[in-house]
Amino acid sequence: MFDGFTPAEFNHDGVVIPYVSAGQGAPVLLLHGFPQTHAMWAKIAPVLAKSYQVICPDLRGYGAASKPKNVTDYSFRAMGSDQLALMSSLGFDRFHLIGHDRGARTAHRMALDAPERVQSLTVMDIIPTHLLLSELTQQVAKAYYHWFFMAQPEPLPETLISSDPFAFYESCLFGWGGADGSGFATDQMAAYRTAWQDPEVVRGMCNDYRAALEIDFDLDEQDLGRILDMPACVLWGADGVMGRSYDVARTWSNRLSNMTAKALPGGHFFPDQYPVETAQALQSFLDSCQD
């Protein structure tokens, strides 16, 4: 799927993070979202690797990464610590950071916790976590009900999801912006479905959402008023829930001082639906950030 990329693993204090990498030049870290794996970058990473050294890991709890037991192990700070340590192990003190969905929330936390490490920040199809939860609208609550369903105590959501994981996760993939199966590459969908059949992946993803409500909201509240100064890019799907429900750029305007913002075609999963357009937007922004 990632032709020319080298697979490897990194062990961060007992949490194993698998990743693939390729290319030369400034380092670029790509973080996937829910309910996916690093496979979501299969059509985008090779384009960027022509100019950059690209690293695509799984987040803890997802794909082939380790699945720790405790909810506290799934805060965006904990997820980000894996990725900061991974990049240090590869010899990168600074790097470009790109995330989609949960990967974007992890990336935002990484930039808050270690701004000196992040040469540029790109967040894709999210508004700030604290804002989404503190000013939740009926429209968003209905569309993003999974935030609150998956955050219920174990084992209720795990039991219900595992009865038909394809039905549940595909309802997420195809429900946020009018996508359907035709917009997703066969090999990428196969990778997602393989992960969904693992009960530990189901549990890990539920713990991710539990941590968002139990831990991340409070961490973000402590950082209200923080403004990040590195070059930042905010992308969203024009037909997605975020794009229809918010002025996405405005939600980030008091958090990012040096921001480029752009809507792309498609819904929440526009990187899968429109990888060419997504790669072009990312390439253009990264090129503009070179020292």
The Cα–Cα gap between 149 and 133 comes to 14
Residue 35 lies in a domain: yes
11, β-bridge pairs: 16
Residue 199 lies in a domain: yes
DSSP annotation string for 119-136: EEEEEES---HHHHHHT-
Check residue 177 and give its pLDDT.
62
Residue 101 lies in a domain: yes
DSSP type of residue 213 = I
Residue 1 lies in a domain: no
The Cα–Cα gap between 133 and 217 comes to 8
Coil vs helix vs strand at 267? coil
Query: At residue 185, what is the residue type?
Result: A
Residue 141 lies in a domain: yes
Residue 261 lies in a domain: yes
pTM: 0.98
The domain that holds 205 is classified in CATH as 3.40.50.1820
Percent of the chain predicted with pLDDT > 90: 96
Average pLDDT, the chain: 96
Q: Which residues are catalytic?
A: 101, 268
Check residue 179 and give its pLDDT.
66
Residue 102 lies in a domain: yes
φ/ψ of 160, rounded to 5, equals -70, -45
Coil vs helix vs strand at 22? strand
DSSP type of residue 227 = -
Residue 242 lies in a domain: yes
Coil vs helix vs strand at 259? strand
| Residues 117-140, mean pLDDT to the nearest whole number | 98
Q: Please say whether the beta carbons of 2 and 22 come within 8 A.
A: yes
Coil vs helix vs strand at 83? helix
The Cα–Cα gap between 106 and 164 comes to 28
Does 226 score more than 80 pLDDT?
yes
pLDDT in tens, 184-221: 999 999 999 999 999 999 999 999 999 999 999 999 99
Which domain covers residue 238, as residue numbers? 6-288
Check residue 175 and give its pLDDT.
81
pLDDT in tens, 232-246: 999 999 999 999 999
| Residue 112 binned pLDDT confidence (cut-offs 50, 70, 90) | very high
| Residues 128-147, mean pLDDT to the nearest whole number | 97
Number of domains in the chain: 1
pLDDT in tens, 76-99: 999 999 999 999 999 999 999 999
Does 291 score more than 90 pLDDT?
no
